[in-house]
Amino acid sequence: DADVTQTPRNRITKTGKRIMLECSQTKGHDRMYWYRQDPGLGLRLIYYSFDVKDINKGEISDGYSVSRQAQAKFSLSLESAIPNQTALYFCAIGAGETQYFGPGTRLLVL
Partner 1 sequence: GEDVEQSLFLSVREGDSSVINCTYTDSSSTYLYWYKQEPGAGLQLLTYIFSNMDMKQDQRLTVLLNKKDKHLSLRIADTQTGDSAIYFCAETGGGATNKLIFGTGTLLAVQP
Residue 40 in the binding site for partner 1 (CB under 8 A):
yes
Measured in whole angstroms, the distance separating CA 19 from the mean position of its chain's CA atoms is: 12
> Site for partner 1 (CB under 8 A): which residue of 1, 65, 67, 108?
1
If one asks whether residue 48 binds partner 1 (CB under 8 A), the answer comes out as yes
Could you say which of 21, 33, 34, 93 contacts partner 1 (CB under 8 A)? 33
The answer to whether the beta carbons of residues 78 and 59 sit under 8 Å apart is: no
Contact 64, 76 (CB under 8 A): yes
Nearer to partner 1, 19 or 34 (CB): 34
Residue 82 phi/psi, 5-degree rounding, is -130, 155
Closest CA to 87 of 24, 31, 19: 19
**Quick check: 64 binds partner 1 (CB under 8 A)?**
no
Residues that bind partner 1 (CB under 8 A): 1, 31, 33, 35, 40-45, 48, 50, 56, 58, 90, 92, 94, 97-104
